[in-house]
Each structure stands twice: as C-alpha cells, then as structure tokens.
Amino acid sequence: MHHACAYIQFGLSSGHGILIRTCKGRKDYSGGPNHFVALAMLDDIPALAAAVRAITGVSRRDSNASQFRAA
C-alpha cells in the first residue's frame, strides 16, 4: 500500500514479513529507513496499525481510505 507519507509492502516470499517506511509522496519508492514487522501481525490488525503509526507518524485522522492504493 502506498500512502502520501507511508509505504507498506507485504513480503510473503522474502521471509522479512511486512516492510513499513516513510515516503515523500506516491512516486517515492525508496523512502526512509526500512522497518520490518512480523507477518503474524496480520492476526492483530490494531497492533499492526499502531506499529505503522509509530514508524511513520501517520495518525488515524491523516489516514483517509481514499489516500491508499495498491503499489
């Protein structure tokens, strides 16, 4: 998923889990430093959302569903 301020990639085959990083717009695919969380966090969506907010600084009020799209 690519937000104006965050990039999230699910790596099923890489073994790294979920990549979360900041970005400067939807055309920025290199962004800030890589942060990985376990793929098992998909079992706890509130915890995953909290991790995304902590890493990116994107708050609930900033995250309008229309801003997200598949990368």
pLDDT in tens, 26-51: 887 778 888 999 999 999 999 999 99
This model's pTM is above 0.85: no
Beta bridge partners of 6: 22
Does the pLDDT of residue 62 top 70, yes or no? no
Q: What would the two tokens of residue 25 be?
A: 């717009």
Residue 16 amino acid letter = H
Beta bridge partners of 21: 7
